[in-house]
Chains A and B, each alone.
Chain A
Amino acid sequence: MSWLTLGELIHTTLVFATAIIFASLGGVFSEKSGVTNLGLEGLMVFGAFAAGVGGFYAEQAGLGGTSAAWVGVLSAAVFGILVSLIHAVASITFKADQVISGIVINFLAAGSTLYMVKLLFEGDGDTGRIQGFSEISIPYLVDIPIAGKAFFQAYPTTYLAILLVIIGYFTLYKTPFGLRLRSVGEHPGAADTVGIKVNRLRYIGVMISGALAGIGGATITLTTTNMFSHNTVSGQGYIAIAAMIFGKWNPLGAFGAAVFFGFSQAIRNYVQLFAWSQSIPQEIIFMLPYLLTIIVLVAAVGRSRAPAALGQLYDPSKR
């Protein structure tokens, strides 16, 4: 493999990782507040759908390529928040099992987005092609050999994802809001004693996860597939859950795990460049990233500790 290919490999890694970065970061916010979010997959599907529809109509309205795509991102965030409220209302207000209400989101997503697409696009199963984002390159830096192509020519959403990881980290660990959010996930009773509104913070945590997972889905529509159909997301939300756990519920850890998964997807495109890969069945190459994850988890990472009150109802009367 030449150095040039290495640059391209990193580039493709980031393209694949972006959606997972957004969604796993969203998952971190929800679960740090104590609400399990298995609905990331569904939230991504809703986001991918909203981005497809929003982007399509924005283009119809005559907005130029990139601004139409940003309308798509915004629609995805708003739609993601709205849908995440179903999860929040059920699991926080009506005390439903958080695992179940997350799964409900996945079910609703699979059915309703396709139903709506068929209504809006006269029976078609997809939104039709939209322009989406095109890559931007940072002047001068992009001319650096290898690294330029690897890091400084990318979709704007990738830069947004990296920016949000940094903001997310500082918000969680360096601001009063972050401290409160984490306290609600660790010991809601104690948080309540000092006057923190437990349920309100949990709502905010879930809504942030909705917005971020929605944008995660949007990036797939707007950069990879350029349309929304039933298999646009296909399991990336579950990978995002894995990345969140793998990254120990820390934004930076989740970012690292997401890049790892992005790399494992990207490598499929490049491994056939090696002569030796011809003798290995393709399925084994496909299997490798998931095997590697398990091995890494078992060998190096060890026990990951979830927020203490994750998945538990907060009942003030039992304090």
Chain B
Amino acid sequence: MANLLKIFTKDSFVLALVSIILGLLLGAVVMMIGGYDPIVAYSALFSRVYGDSYNFGEAIREMTPLILTGLAFAFAARAGLFNIGGEGQFLVGMTAASIVGIKLHGLPAIIHAPLAIIAGAVFGGLWAAIAGYLKAKRGVNEVITCIMMNWIGLYLANLVINQFALMEGENRSVDIQPSASISIEWLSQMMGNARVHWGTAIAVLAAVFFYIFMWKTKQGYELRAVGFNQDASRYAGMNVNRNIVKAMFISGVFAGLAGAFEVLGVFHYQSVMSGSPGTGFDGIAVALIGMNNPFGVLLGSVLFGTLTYGSAGMSFSADVPPEIIRVVIGSIIFFIAAQGIVRWVVKPLYSKRKKEKVL
């Protein structure tokens, strides 16, 4: 627990907090320039998310895939890899879960649902491992393969749904078997049919797994060592190539889970998509807000989910274009990245406090 707290040492925590405040302030300024009242807008945003149980449940649903795609990016980043392919891994994991959920009949829920989840996780992982393998064996830059794999994943997902599971006359798959569903019916009924599901709990556990694996196991130590300095790790006798593939696989497992939960817990079918849903890219933002720390990712997805889900309320009741929230999130990431600016803002506060001590 002490270690856990150490991650949020006051320095990085204060910096993140100040960055968030600065981002919200900047958003307010942009709103005022556009002739909107930022106080009305922000209160509409927060009251939508935290105002009633239905919207709260839906906001939680929105945060869940962000936790996992955020963990996916952060995990690879810890191993020195830039996994921009979360989008493709998300889609491939989703498709694998859909097929298992639709095609297997007569299984009890206790077997069917976990099987579908595992299928999503494994295929997401394998999809990412391809990029890792090509990097390790052939030295192909993982950024470019990931970008290509995102597109291939999109079309592959559509191909599989079109060929094997299409609902007659609709642009989507047939529904998954009820035994593959991971929706929490009783909680959903309590929350006005908000689409809450067990995936949220698994996502939080995934963050705990991330922490334990990275900082408490030998394999995690190796991954971080490879991420820190490949040559030194090789000299120390580590198998760098295997670690690259392993890191990408686990990273992809997270993204694949995110996709699986969207089908098994939220929609119960898979749409044929004309473009990428963007969840993988949003995960990058979440990971950056969370500074590639698993618990930071949890907080980052709460923030990101609150802002994006609430932005719809902002446009309903205050008539403010919801796109402004992307500007707010972008600025928050900017300030977290450019800590020099934040330190410069915070500095007067710190020196004042010191003076008080002297007095």
Residues of A at the B interface (CB closer than 8 Å) are 86, 89-90, 93-97, 99-101, 103-108, 110-112, 114-115, 118-119, 231, 234-235, 238-239, 241-242, 245-246, 281, 283-284, 286-287, 290-291, 293-294, 297-298, 302-304, 306
Partner-A contacts on B (CB < 8 A): 30, 34-35, 82, 84, 134, 138-141, 143-145, 147-152, 155-156, 158-159, 162-163, 275-276, 281, 284-285, 288, 321, 323-331, 333-334, 336-341
Please give the distance in Å from A171's CB to the nearest CB on chain B: 25
B333 touches A234 (CB 8 A): no
In the complex, the answer to whether A96 meets B340 with C-beta atoms within 8 Å is yes
Collect the chain B residues with CB atoms within 8 Å of residue A231's CB: 275
Known: A96-B337, A101-B337. Contact between A290 and B141, CB under 8 A? no
Are A283 and B158 in contact, with the CB atoms below 8 A?
A: yes
Q: Is the CB of B144 within 8 A of A241?
A: yes
A101 proximity list for chain B (CB < 8 A): 334, 337-338
The answer to whether A241 and B337 touch across the interface, beta carbons within 8 angstroms, is no
With a cutoff of 8 Å between Cβ atoms, the chain A residues found around residue B162 in the complex are 281, 283
Cα(A94)–Cα(B341), bound, Å: 7
Kindly identify which residue among A119, A286, A290, A298 contacts B140, using a CB–CB cutoff of 8 Å.
A298
Cα distance A93–B336 in the bound complex, in angstroms? 15
Contact A287-B155, Cβ < 8 Å, known A96-B340, A294-B134, A304-B141: yes
Q: How far is the CB of B271 from chain A (nearest CB, A)?
A: 14
Q: Are B325 and A111 in contact (CB under 8 A)?
A: yes
For the complex, would chain B's binding face be called helix, strand, loop or mixed by DSSP majority?
helix
A270 to chain B minimum Cβ distance, whole angstroms, is 18
Known interface pairs A90-B334, A110-B326. Does A293 touch B288 (Cβ–Cβ under 8 Å)? Answer: no
* A107-B148 contact given A90-B337, A303-B139, CB 8 Å threshold: no
Top 9 nearest A-B pairs by Cβ distance?
Answer: A111-B326, A107-B330, A94-B340, A283-B159, A96-B338, A303-B139, A100-B337, A96-B337, A108-B330
Check A302–B138 contact: CB distance below 8 A. yes
Partner of B326, one of A107, A118, A234, A290: A107
Return 6 A-B CB contacts under 8 Å, by A number.
A96-B340, A97-B337, A115-B323, A119-B321, A281-B163, A287-B155
Cβ–Cβ < 8 Å partners of B324 in chain A: 111, 115
| Chain A residues, Cβ within 8 Å of B285 | 103, 107
Residue numbers in A under 8 Å from B281 (CB-CB): 106
Q: Are the C-beta atoms of A245 and B330 separated by less than 8 Å?
A: no
Contacts of A99 in B (CB 8 A): 82
Q: Which residues of B contact A290 (CB under 8 A)?
A: 148-149, 151-152
Instruction: Contact check, A111 vs B327: say whether CB atoms are below 8 A apart.
Output: yes
Closest chain A residue to B285 by CB distance? A107
On whether the beta carbons of B144 and A103 are closer than 8 Å, the reply is no
Closest to B82 in A: A99
Residues of chain A lying within 8 A (CB to CB) of residue B329: 107, 111
